Structure 1
Amino acid sequence: MAEVARHFERSRHRRIADAVLERAASAPEITTRPRAVLLRALRHGRLVVAHDGDAVAGWFLSEPCGRGVHELGFLFVDPSVRGDGVLLDLLDTALAIEPHAVSVTFRPDFARWLIRAKGFRRVPLTTVTRVSRGCFLLRRLAPGRLGVALRRTSAGEAWYLVRGA
């Protein structure tokens, strides 16, 4: 069973960030984040990581959107540990960081599960933008993510979700 945590010795941060980036580079469905973002998230306990032995088996990123709100994203769970409760452990640990959360997914089954199991509700983009104080939209307008955001939004229907707000 994978171990899930969000606080790590500072000496491990670079190794964890590198392992996440290496894995993300090998999976085209993952929108990567800059190394500096991951290192900052590790410093502040906002990158929730599952380890299966020495290997990184999954992660969930919590990006702050002002006081009490965060965007949850950059989720990955290795196929070898899916079904072992790792996703639940990652999500529960990430949800505990802030009382309110925003997120987007293009996977309707996952969105319905979040709504049913974790109290999210589906909302329009304007609500996610308001709750996140504009951070959600600004992140997608960043040069490194704009192209990815445009490809994803044209590939399927976005499910915008909020929890606790």
Structure 2
Amino acid sequence: MSSLQNALEHYQARIGSEIGESSWVTVDQQMVDTFAETTRDKQWIHIDPERAAKDTPFGGTIAHGFLTLSLASGFASECFKPRPGQVMGINYGLNKVRFLNPVKVGSRLRGKFTLQGISVRSDTELLRETLLTIEIEGAERPALVAEWLGISVFDD
């Protein structure tokens, strides 16, 4: 059996199941400030703790939604280990992203992944559809949910 076929069967048996849950990551002000510099999104609700404490309902600064989403790659690397014969994984994009809850600076986040579907894309590629949920520790509603597509490339 080829590596791709083996992986396909592995994933087909797990459709609808949680694939993994990452460790917690703290979103601190330095992370937010670095992201603001990198993306040139320097809105005060992200980088001015005093004004954000006074003039927002959040009680302080909040992370950029795209910063929260960008943490997904690291969360995924913890949860999706390469299958035998897999030579790489490629981010294929997102079908839907919803930012449901602001992430206050100082919060801890983790990613949870539920496999929604798997299909053969070519002789060497599988397309994986995953529900990503980024949770905020202690919060009822997650920071975001997204339908994420990834390609697993195999050597045979």
If the length of structure 1 is used for normalisation, what is the TM-score?
Answer: 0.23
In proportion to residue count, which structure has more strand? 2
If asked which structure has higher relative contact order (CA below 8 Å, sep 6+), I would say 2
If the length of structure 2 is used for normalisation, what is the TM-score?
Answer: 0.24
In proportion to residue count, which structure has more helix? 1
